[in-house]
Amino acid sequence: MNVHEYQAKELLREFGVPVPDGVLATTAGEAERAARELKSAVCVVKAQVHAGGRGKAGGVKIAKGPAETKQAASEILGMTLRSAQTGPEGKVVRKVYIEAGSDIAHEYYLGFVIDRASESFAIIASTEGGMEIEEVAAKTPEKIITVYIDANVGLQAYQVRHIGFGLGLDGAQVGQLETFLRGLFRLFQEKDASLVEINPLVVTSSGDLIALDAKLNFDDNALFRHPEIAKLRDPDEEDPRERAAAEIDLAYVGLDGNIGCMVNGAGLAMATLDMIQVCGGSPANFLDAGGGADKEKVQEAFKLILRDENVKGILVNIFGGIVLCDLIAEGVVAAARELGIGVPLVVRLQGTNAAEGRKILAESGLDITPAETLREAGERAVAAVRGAEG
């Protein structure tokens, strides 16, 4: 789960990591008042959307004094921000964060992640602050310092020194870095973060370390023990279909094709998209109905798929392990009757109780195209959509 920069910075403050003073505003008037409160000669007005690349997209402006802050906020609020990370449709800015300007001497990059390969925490630091770390890794890997932290041993002082002196900080600053990193590490563990990115980490002209930007992601699987983090979710920032899917415990990702897909299991769901593509078609979505798929869930999944107006046909691909194919078939029949699907429907049932399931479909009297193998399912779905278009 992602949170906004202003929320991330509140959490950093709570864990003793220095951040600039800032105030959230949802109107230009509030922004003006915020600038007064901050008593800073220079304010930075920052669009609050869940996407990077805000600066280049015009979502970050420097303002001198309350009047300029008001003006900048009025320009940013309501704009549709388009960056490499928002996609072409962009994101509407509903909130701005007004922050006291910092006097920057140096910029660094600092990232905290769970490293899958070493199965440990990793801190990634670089002298190339403000740049995308992937770009630095590709072009100048020698400028990246990585340390791995054993999950059961924790961050060691020598690791902090390795990073600090490696970045070229002086002794006093390495001391500050220790507080900084210990705060981040504690935040990471206590709140079950999956990513903390401080880009840039800044050394001010007075020599102090401060987190100028902050990005925090949290482990969705751990939200059950962090209601205070789950509360930070901003529904405006999520794809409405993905949100609706999450509410009924389905995994859904919208795509731009026209064949709606309902599959059990993430791997098979991805393979089904691949199958459609191999057959010359284009999938409209990824949908994993999960191990607990039953009649009700199937109906909900159909509703979700049909919310996408591009859908010209639906492919249901179920390989029953835990999932019982006869229950799925009942769901398909009920959905077809009650929702009036209106587009061609191809259903492939395999595995547990597949024969019973196929019988239910065949006896329903509904216009459902059955398929035996994965290939048949893909080919028939693609043909059905072509037929519907022609």
Partner 1 sequence: MSILCDKNTKLLIQGMGRMGRLHAGFSKDYGTQVVGGIAPGKGGQEIDGIPVYDTVAEAVKDTGANASVIFVPPPGAADAILEAADAGLDVTACITEGIPAIDMMRAKAALRGSSMRLVGPNCPGVVTPEQCRIGIMPAKITKPGPVGVVSRSGTLTYEAVDQLSRLGIGQSTCVGIGGDPVIGTTFVDALALFEADPETKAVVMIGEIGGSAEETAAEFVQSNMSKPVVSFIAGQNAPPGKRMGHAGAIIAGGQGKASDKMAALEKAGVAVSVSPAEIGETLANHVPELRP
- How far apart CA 293 and CA 263 sit, in angstroms, is 10
Alpha carbons 344 and 349: distance in angstroms, whole number:
17
Nearest residue (CB) to partner 1, 263 versus 347: 263
- Which is nearer to partner 1, 76 or 214 (by Cβ)? 214
Active site residue 109: yes
Length of the chain in residues, anyone? 390
Q: Show the 3-state SS of 222-275.
A: HHHHCHHHHCCCCHHHCCHHHHHHHHCCCEEEECCCCEEEEECCHHHHHHHHHH
The Cα–Cα gap between 325 and 361 comes to: 11
- From 6, 97, 109, 252, active-site residue: 109
Nearer to partner 1, 170 or 220 (CB): 220
Binding site for partner 1 (CB under 8 A): 85, 114, 116-117, 119-121, 133-134, 150-152, 189, 192, 194, 219-222, 224-225, 251, 253, 255, 263-275, 277-278, 283, 286, 288, 291, 319-322, 350-352, 373-375, 378
| Contact between 349 and 325 (Cβ < 8 Å) | yes
Nearer to partner 1, 61 or 191 (CB): 191
**Spatial distance between the Cα atoms of 267 and 322, rounded to a whole number of angstroms:** 15
Helix, coil or strand: residue 349: strand
State the first-to-last Cα distance of the chain, in angstroms, to the nearest integer: 42
State in angstroms the smallest separation of the CB of 323 from partner 1. 8
Using CA atoms, how far apart are residues 313 and 368, in angstroms rounded to an integer?
11
**Least distance to partner 1 from the beta carbon of 138, Å?**
8
Least distance from partner 1 to the Cβ atom of residue 192, Å: 6
Catalytic residue among 30, 99, 128, 197: 197
What CA–CA distance (Å, rounded) separates 223 from 282?
A: 34
Element (H, E) at 347: strand 345-351
Smallest distance, partner 1 to C-beta of residue 122, A: 11
CB of 11 to partner 1, least distance (A): 16
R_g of the chain computed on alpha carbons? 26
Nearer to partner 1, 2 or 69 (CB): 2
Is residue 228 part of the annotated active site? The answer reads no
Q: Catalytic positions, please?
A: 109, 197
